[in-house]
């Protein structure tokens, strides 16, 4: 053997052995007492864990002392005593730590640096990775890194770090984190958002958030959303037709046919049946089950549907009903017709579809921003719809670099608010989250305050209470998000006027819910191409439909404006 090669090989072997010894000395097996103390932390008893670990630390020496001090500091911090935790952490020799102890030390020292408003130091303390952390602590590490990255001027990297935390979070912590991710992405201009989304590799958890942000602005996706191949399993359905039509075999529809929500359920039911009977190809057996508008009624109806052999379920309709169903383990997937009250994502394999007031606020903000308006006055009704739309509008404007000049809350009959309106004459636009009659009463006051000539956009509630052109001329020039069916028509569905002439559940405000029910059938029958991310989305009666990476239907509306007292479609609106 070549002597030089032999010497190098021997040296490499020696270094490898030394490295292995060093690694094992830094991460020895925890003693039974240390393991028992740390198990108290995992049982939700951090103070007891901290006391035992600290006592063990002061009875130990060398590296073992550092390891125990680090764990004691972590436990004291979990117990809410940051002062004691900092004192112990300062006594730790970091190079003597290894494995999970080192990772917890990095996390704690990074969080303390953030609390001290030292984001650069936090990034250094956290390190590039934190191997060995349990999933819950791993999520905390990513959240801390995200906060530090944002504070050092790296919003996209911050959003990406937060996206890695998402899977390890639950409940309000997860929904709060998702809002923060969308806020960070909202601050990007269109070109930057598009470029950064395109550059993300397949499987990067930020892509699904970036895609949602792109669609909310009316921008195309670089590629379909990332999702597991079995996310929406339709393999038990008969083969799809060439256009992707592949409905279930037995369909159950859960609606509140009695109770307080029955009036809203009727047009949804009739819109769904209109789409169902308009289809000449294979249709599933269909059964309607009454939920009575209660959580208990919804879960009982779902159980009856499963027992009867349904392989897909549409509904329920009420928010409380959806929350009750999403909290369960679902053996048969559902297309829920509302958002849950706790902003929970749909269970795996299920889909959420809604006409939420929050969507109106987001759409209105994006509409004004796309047209160059960045300083809006908000006038909203004091009911739940108005408040939710106004809140979403304010949040989206702030996240996208715009601002709200002011907010005015009005009753259904608004009275004289002209003095308040004059206070915000510098606004460059107005968002009206009110019904038609309220907007008609506000129109002359807006004119006298110098706001009538500025861009005005309403929520979808604007059309409620309208229908008399001679009165609705006061609404001329106000843009609002509407339904494709009522503004420009939908292939396969008669015009809104002709259907309304014969069907009471398609008249006036009910037309929107009728279109909603129609689309519920389309989503069910075309779930496979929707999940595959067919380019351009699915043309529906309520708008163009996309299925995002979290199981929610995103809707691009048809924009309209009043002209001569009648709604008219706006052509070419993004």
Q: Domain check: are 561 and 520 in the same one?
A: no
Query: What's the token pair of residue 561?
Result: 């404006």
Same domain, 56 and 173: yes
Averaged pLDDT, 20-24: 37
Please state which of the ranges 226-240, 459-473, 536-550 shows the lowest mean pLDDT: 226-240
**Residue 233 corresponds to which tokens in the numbers above?**
């399993």
Q: Which of 177, 208, 230 is the last residue of a domain?
A: 177
pLDDT cut 70: percent of the chain above it: 93
Residues 469, 513 within the same domain: no
Task: State the total domains in the chain.
Answer: 3
Instruction: State how far the Cα of 141 lies from the Cα of 245, in Å rounded to an integer.
Output: 44
Q: Are 57 and 72 in contact (CB under 8 A)?
A: yes
Residues 291 and 424 grouped into a single domain: no
Q: In this structure, are 114 and 65 located in the same domain? A: yes
Are 136 and 280 found together in one domain? no
Indicate whether 192 pLDDT > 60.
yes
Tracing tokens 């519920």 back to the chain, one arrives at 520
Query: Do 81 and 169 sit in the same domain of this protein?
Result: yes
Instruction: Reduce the DSSP state of residue 556 to 3 states and report it.
Output: strand
Same domain for 337 and 371, yes or no, is no
Q: Are residues 57 and 95 in the same domain?
A: yes
Report residue 35's pLDDT band, with 50, 70 and 90 as the boundaries. confident
Of 343 and 533, the structure prediction assigns the larger pLDDT to: 533
Would you say residue 330 lies in a domain? yes
Domain boundary among 131, 151, 177: 177
CB atoms within 10 A of CB 105: 24
Q: For 94-103, how does the pLDDT look when each residue is reduced to its tens digit (9 = 90+)? A: 999 988 889 9
- Is 528 domain-assigned? yes
How many Å apart are CA 180 and CA 285, to the nearest integer? Answer: 43
Mean pLDDT estimate for the chain? 90
Q: What is the 3-state secondary structure (H, E, C) of 30-85?
A: CCHHHHHHHHHHHCCCHHHHHHHHHHHHHCCCHHHHHHHHHHHHHHHHHCCCHHHH
pLDDT band (50, 70, 90) for residue 6:
very low
Whether the pLDDT of residue 47 is over 50: the answer is: yes
Summarize the confidence of residues 401-427 as an average pLDDT.
94
Q: Rounded to 5, what percent of the chain is helix, strand, coil?
A: 55, 15, 35
**Which whole-number Å values give the CA distances from 205 to 55, 126, 166, 185, in the listed order?**
42, 21, 8, 13
Rounded-to-integer distance, Cα 455 and Cα 440, Å:
16
Please report whether residue 228 resides in a domain: no
Q: Which of 131, 150, 177 is the last residue of a domain?
A: 177
Q: Is residue 205 part of a domain?
A: no
Query: Binning pLDDT at 50, 70 and 90, where does residue 299 land?
Result: very high
Is 423 within the bounds of a domain? yes
The parent domain of residue 425 ranges over 355-483+557-574
**23 falls in which pLDDT band (50, 70, 90)?**
very low
Please tell me the distance from the alpha carbon of residue 440 to that of residue 36, in angstroms, as a whole number.
Answer: 70
Between CA 406 and CA 269 the distance in angstroms is: 40
Is residue 184 within 8 A of residue 155, CB to CB? The reply is: yes
Average pLDDT rounded to a whole number, residues 342-368: 91
Q: Are residues 251 and 288 in the same domain?
A: yes
CA-based torsion, 204, 205, 206, 207: positive or negative = positive
pLDDT at 28: 55
Over residues 125-169, the pLDDT tens digits come to: 999 887 778 887 999 999 999 999 999 999 999 999 999 999 888
Does residue 312 fall inside a structural domain?
A: yes
Q: Residues 453, 529: one domain? A: no
Question: pLDDT for 423-467, tens place per residue?
Answer: 999 999 999 999 999 999 999 999 999 998 899 999 999 999 998
CATH number for 335: 3.40.50.2300
CATH number at residue 139: 1.25.40.10
Banded model confidence at residue 16, pLDDT cuts 50, 70, 90: very low
Distance CA 201, CA 275 (A): 39
Mean pLDDT of 292-304: 97
Task: For residue 17, name the pLDDT band (cuts at 50, 70, 90).
Answer: very low
Distances in Å between the Cα of 470 and the Cα atoms of 412, 443, 500, 564, 565 are 20, 14, 21, 8, 6
Give 132: exposed, middle or buried? Use CB within 10 Å, 0-12, 13-18, 19+: middle
Beta-bridged to residue 288, according to DSSP, are: 253
Evaluate if residue 555 carries a pLDDT over 80.
yes
**In this structure, is residue 345 part of a structural domain?**
yes
Sheet bearing 544-547, strands edge to edge: 538-539, 544-547, 553-556
- Based on its alpha-carbon atoms, the radius of gyration of the chain, rounded to whole angstroms, reads 29
Q: Residue 385 pLDDT more than 50?
A: yes
Q: Does residue 11 surpass a pLDDT of 60?
A: no
pLDDT, greater one: 452 or 211: 211
Whether 2 shows a pLDDT value over 50: the answer reads no
Please provide the DSSP assignment of 186-239 as one string: HTS-HHHHHHHHHHSPTT-THHHHHHHHHHHTTPPPSSPPP--TTTT--TTSPP
- Asked whether the beta carbons of 254 and 322 are under 8 A apart, the reply is no
What average pLDDT does range 507-517 have in this prediction?
Answer: 93
CA distance readout (Å), 549 to 215, 229, 537: 12, 12, 14
- Considering the domain boundaries, does residue 343 fall inside one? yes
Tens digits of residue pLDDT in 256-297: 999 999 999 999 999 999 999 999 999 999 999 999 999 999
- In this structure, are 109 and 251 located in the same domain? no
Question: Can you give the pLDDT at residue 390?
Answer: 97
């Amino acid at each position: 053997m070549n002597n030089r090669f032999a010497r190098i090989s021997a040296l490499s072997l020696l270094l490898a052995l030394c490295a292995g010894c060093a690694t094992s000395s830094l991460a020895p097996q925890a003693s039974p007492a240390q393991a028992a103390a740390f198990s108290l932390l995992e049982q939700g008893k951090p103070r007891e864990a901290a006391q035992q670990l600290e006592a063990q630390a002061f009875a130990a020496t060398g590296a073992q002392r550092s390891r125990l001090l680090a764990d004691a500091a972590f436990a004291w911090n979990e117990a809410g005593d940051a002062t004691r935790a900092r004192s112990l952490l300062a006594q730790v020799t970091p190079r003597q730590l290894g494995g999970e102890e080192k990772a917890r030390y990095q996390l704690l020292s990074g969080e303390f640096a953030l609390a001290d408003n030292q984001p650069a130091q936090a990034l250094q303390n956290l390190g590039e990775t934190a191997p060995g952390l349990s999933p819950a602590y791993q999520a905390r590490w990513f959240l801390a890194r995200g906060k530090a990255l944002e504070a050092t001027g790296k919003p996209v990297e911050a959003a990406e770090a937060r996206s890695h935390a998402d899977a390890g979070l639950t409940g309000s912590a997860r929904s709060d984190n998702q809002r923060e991710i969308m806020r960070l992405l909202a601050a990007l201009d269109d070109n930057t958002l598009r470029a950064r989304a395109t550059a993300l590799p397949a499987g990067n958890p930020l892509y699904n958030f970036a895609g949602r942000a792109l669609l909310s602005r009316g921008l195309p996706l670089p590629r379909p959303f990332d999702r597991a191949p079995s996310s929406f399993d339709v393999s038990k359905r008969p083969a799809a037709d060439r256009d992707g039509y592949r409905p279930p075999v037995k369909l159950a529809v859960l609606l509140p046919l009695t109770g307080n929500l029955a009036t809203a359920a009727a047009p949804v039911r009739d819109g769904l049946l209109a789409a169902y009977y308009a289809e000449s190809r294979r249709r599933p057996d269909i059964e309607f089950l009454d939920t009575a508008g209660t959580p208990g009624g919804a879960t009982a109806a779902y159980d009856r549907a499963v027992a009867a052999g349904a392989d897909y379920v549409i509904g329920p309709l009420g928010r409380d009903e959806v929350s009750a169903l999403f909290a369960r383990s679902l053996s048969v997937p559902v297309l829920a017709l509302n958002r849950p009250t706790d902003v929970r994502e749909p269970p795996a394999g299920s889909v959420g579809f809604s006409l939420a007031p929050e969507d109106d606020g987001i759409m209105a903000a994006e509409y004004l921003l796309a047209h160059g308006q960045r300083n809006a006055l908000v006038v909203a009704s004091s009911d739940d719809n108005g408040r939710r739309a106004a809140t979403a509008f304010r949040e989206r404007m702030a996240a996208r670099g715009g601002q709200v000049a002011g907010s005015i809350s009005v009753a259904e009959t608004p009275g004289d608010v002209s003095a308040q309106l004059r206070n915000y004459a510098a606004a460059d636009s107005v968002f009206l989250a009110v019904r038609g009659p309220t907007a008609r009463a506000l129109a002359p006051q807006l004119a006298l305050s110098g706001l009538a000539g500025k861009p005005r956009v309403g929520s979808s509630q604007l059309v409620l209470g309208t229908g008399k052109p001679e009165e609705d001329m006061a609404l001329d020039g106000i843009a609002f998000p509407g339904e494709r069916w009522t503004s420009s028509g939908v292939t396969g569905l008669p015009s809104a006027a002709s259907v309304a002439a014969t069907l009471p559940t398609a008249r006036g405000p009910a037309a929107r819910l009728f279109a909603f029910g129609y689309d519920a059938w389309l989503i069910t029958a075309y779930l496979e191409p929707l999940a595959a991310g067919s380019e351009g989305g699915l043309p529906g009666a309520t708008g163009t439909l996309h299925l995002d990476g979290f199981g929610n239907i995103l809707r691009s509306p048809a924009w309209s404006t009043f002209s001569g007292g009648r709604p008219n479609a706006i052509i070419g609106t993004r």
